[in-house]
């Protein structure tokens, strides 16, 4: 049985929530526009009165219908966390309705727009907005309800089945998110709104599941069966090319995300665990990339030698680690803002040196082009692959390689975090003076943090060099260090999946928002501000960070009174 709280479960009938659910359903059925979007293949159905209208191919009206029906059912049950679920559904309805309403109004539609054919009025969008507002308003204080806790005792096979189905659903959700709205370009005027609308629906769905306590229970189950969970996640990542996202474009994007995710995991050691603010971290990735490029046999390389990719990657990682020690040694007596300035200076020194082609190793403004592709049994990794009757897109082998790289860095991070040195890093992050007083050799620990993070970044840089086939100093500017730092903080400092999720978000959102052209960075920045406002501990918070950033209005249990004689 599940162990839940009975708070907030008074009465089955809630008029406002019921009205909001009914309004959401009606809003999905009513027309949303009375004008023809374009001269495309469906001008007769461009009023969005039916689910098969052109803009409804995104499924946004179907999402509203499902959300409204779910809210109607949940409102008449004693489901644990009912208020949290209804509020999450309400936010989902508001997000979907708002995105599509703004799009319609900006294209000349909306309430009062009269069709030349039948004189109909379009007000379904406003009914949907009203339904979402009622759901949110009636359950505004639902966050005060304790989150339900599930404690089901499952046999081993059932627990593995639950994890398998859960991670499979995550894989499908990731594939749907990547392909929602296509590639997002000016050729498709619906791409941007479709993607944002889908994000709103996905957020409402995940929020509702979290409100029931289901996601927390699956997380605890995954932690209990950690090895099986890691294997399933690895299989899901390798299975992404078999989904709807299995095309050459998204394989390239996913490979780039993996490279930066592996680099962000290394930065998570320096910033997330040891608490050392590094603003020049991308320089270590650049060092690894230039070393690998010079060892690749490219015509423009200064060394003119060609070693196997695996050996080149190892050498690049070692040299990057040596530079990590060189940078870390002078910083032993500085901390905080001063440490940030020192690392920022190192990043600028590297960029200027690479730009001026110091030693002839970076190519300067000409970069190092035509880096040979990685080969395996005579097959170049950038070419399409046919396995049996299955055709995999070009670049899929690079994607597989980078998935293994991310898995390797995750294993390294996890083992280090749970080791003695990892606990020393966390102690230094919390209070360096206290850590030193407790006997921790803080200088050695900080140098080890720089060494480990730089080594992982150099390894990722070697893969990056062969994947892009060109290495230029322009790829390793200060903005890249800021992006990596943002990925760590956004995803959750000190967590393994946090850096991966943060890197994915920071690289997928700009790609999907290209349709908005001039407003793309504005929307992207606004999304980051909102995430940091409502999730200051990160999307996947570490338990220490969650405890540090607990809401001020949460009442902590009072200390027990001392017994009196």
HEC per residue, 248-292? HHHHHHHHHHHHHHHHHHHHHHHHHHCCCCCCCCHHHHHHHHHHH
Residue 327 is predicted with a pLDDT of 86
The number of C-alpha atoms within 13 Å of 209 and in the hemisphere containing its C-beta is 14
The H-or-E segment that residue 559 falls in is none
Which regions of the chain are under pLDDT 50? 1-10, 38-58, 109-120, 184-187, 551-565
Q: How far apart (Å, rounded) are the C-alpha atoms in residues 327 and 332?
A: 10
Reference 96, options 4, 230, 199; nearest CA is 199
Residue whose structure tokens are 């206290």 = 434
The number of angstroms, rounded, from the C-alpha of 396 to the middle of its chain's C-alpha atoms is: 21
State the pLDDT at residue 517. Answer: 63
Nearest-angstrom CA–CA distance, 523 and 455: 35
Query: Shortest CA distance to 402 belongs to which of 190, 237, 541?
Result: 237
**CA-to-CA distance for 512 and 527, rounded, in angstroms?**
13
Q: How far apart are CA 222 and CA 20, in angstroms?
A: 36
pLDDT of residue 337: 80
DSSP conformation class of 334 = -
- The gap from C-alpha 213 to its chain's centroid, in whole angstroms, comes to 22
C-alpha 223/C-alpha 341 separation (Å) is 39
Q: Which helix (H) or strand (E) holds 244?
A: none
Whole-number pLDDT of residue 562: 46
The whole-model pTM stands at: 0.79
b or e along 211-245 (b: 16 or more beta carbons within 10 Å of the residue's beta carbon)?
bbbbbebbeebbeebeebbbebbbebbeebbebeb
Q: Are strands 149-150 and 375-376 parallel, antiparallel or unpaired?
A: unpaired
| pLDDT value of position 72 | 92
Largest CA distance in the chain: 89
pLDDT at 278: 87
φ, ψ of residue 405 to 5 degrees: the values are: -65, -45
Residue with tokens 């995803």: 491
b or e along 247-257 (b: 16 or more beta carbons within 10 Å of the residue's beta carbon)? Answer: beebbbbbbbb
Neighbours of 156 (CB within 10 A): 9
Query: Does residue 11 contact residue 88 with C-beta atoms inside 8 Å?
Result: no
In this prediction, residue 110 carries a pLDDT of 44
Nearest-angstrom CA–CA distance, 57 and 562: 65
| pLDDT value of residue 313 | 92
Joined tokens for residue 219: 């997380």
Q: How far, in Å, CA of 467 to CA of 280, rounded?
A: 23
């Amino acid at each position: 049985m599940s162990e839940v709280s009975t708070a907030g479960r008074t009465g089955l009938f809630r008029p406002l929530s019921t009205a909001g659910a009914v309004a959401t359903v009606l809003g999905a059925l009513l027309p949303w526009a009375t004008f023809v979007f374009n001269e495309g293949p469906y001008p007769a159905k461009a009023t969005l009165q039916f689910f098969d209208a052109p803009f409804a191919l995104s499924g946004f009206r179907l999402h509203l219908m499902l959300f409204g029906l779910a809210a109607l059912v949940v409102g008449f049950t004693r489901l644990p966390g009912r208020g949290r679920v209804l509020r999450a559904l309400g936010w989902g309805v508001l997000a979907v309705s708002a995105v599509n309403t703004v799009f319609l109004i900006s294209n000349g539609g909306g309430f009062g727009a009269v069709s030349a054919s039948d004189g109909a009025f379009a007000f379904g969008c406003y009914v949907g907005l009203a339904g979402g507002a009622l759901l949110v308003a009636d359950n505004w204080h639902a966050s005060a309800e304790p989150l339900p806790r599930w404690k089901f005792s499952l046999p081993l096979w059932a627990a593995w089945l639950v994890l398998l189905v859960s991670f499979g659903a995550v894989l499908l959700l990731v594939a749907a998110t990547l392909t929602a709205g296509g590639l997002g370009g000016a050729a498709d005027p619906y791409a941007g709104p479709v993607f944002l609308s889908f994000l709103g629906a996905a957020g409402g769905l995940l929020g509702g599941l979290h409100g029931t306590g289901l996601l927390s229970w699956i997380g605890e189950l995954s932690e209990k069966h950690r090895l099986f969970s890691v294997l399933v996640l690895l299989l899901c990542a390798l299975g992404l090319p078999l989904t709807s996202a299995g095309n050459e474009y998204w394989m390239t994007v996913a490979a780039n995300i993996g490279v930066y995710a592996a680099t962000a995991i290394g930065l998570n050691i320096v910033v997330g665990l040891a608490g050392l603010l590094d603003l020049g971290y991308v320089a270590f990735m650049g060092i690894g990339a230039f070393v690998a490029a010079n060892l690749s046999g490219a015509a423009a390389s200064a060394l003119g030698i060609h070693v196997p990719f695996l050996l080149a990657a190892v050498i690049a990682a070692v040299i990057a680690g040596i530079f990590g020690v060189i940078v870390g040694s002078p910083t032993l007596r500085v901390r905080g803002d001063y440490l940030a300035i020192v690392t920022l200076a190192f990043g600028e020194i590297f960029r200027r040196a690479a730009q001026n082609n110091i030693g002839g190793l970076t190519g300067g403004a000409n970069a190092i082009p035509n880096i040979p592709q990685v080969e395996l049994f005579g097959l170049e990794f950038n070419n399409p692959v046919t396995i049996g009757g299955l055709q995999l897109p070009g670049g899929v082998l690079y994607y597989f390689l980078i998935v293994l790289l991310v898995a390797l860095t995750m294993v390294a991070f996890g083992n280090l975090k749970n080791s003695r040195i990892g606990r020393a890093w966390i102690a230094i992050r919390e209070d360096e003076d206290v850590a030193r007083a407790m006997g921790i050799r803080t200088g050695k620990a900080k140098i080890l943090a720089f060494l480990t993070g730089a080594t992982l970044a150099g390894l990722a840089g070697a893969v990056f060099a062969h994947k892009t086939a060109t290495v230029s100093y322009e790829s390793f500017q200060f903005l890249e260090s800021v992006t990596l730092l943002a990925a760590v903080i956004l995803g959750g400092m000190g967590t393994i999946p946090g850096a991966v999720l943060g890197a994915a978000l920071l690289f997928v959102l700009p790609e999907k928002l290209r349709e908005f052209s001039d407003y793309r960075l504005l929307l992207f920045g606004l999304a980051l501000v909102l995430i940091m406002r409502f999730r200051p501990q990160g999307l996947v918070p570490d338990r220490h960070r969650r405890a540090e950033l607990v809401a001020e209005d949460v009442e902590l249990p009072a200390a027990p009174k001392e017994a009196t004689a």
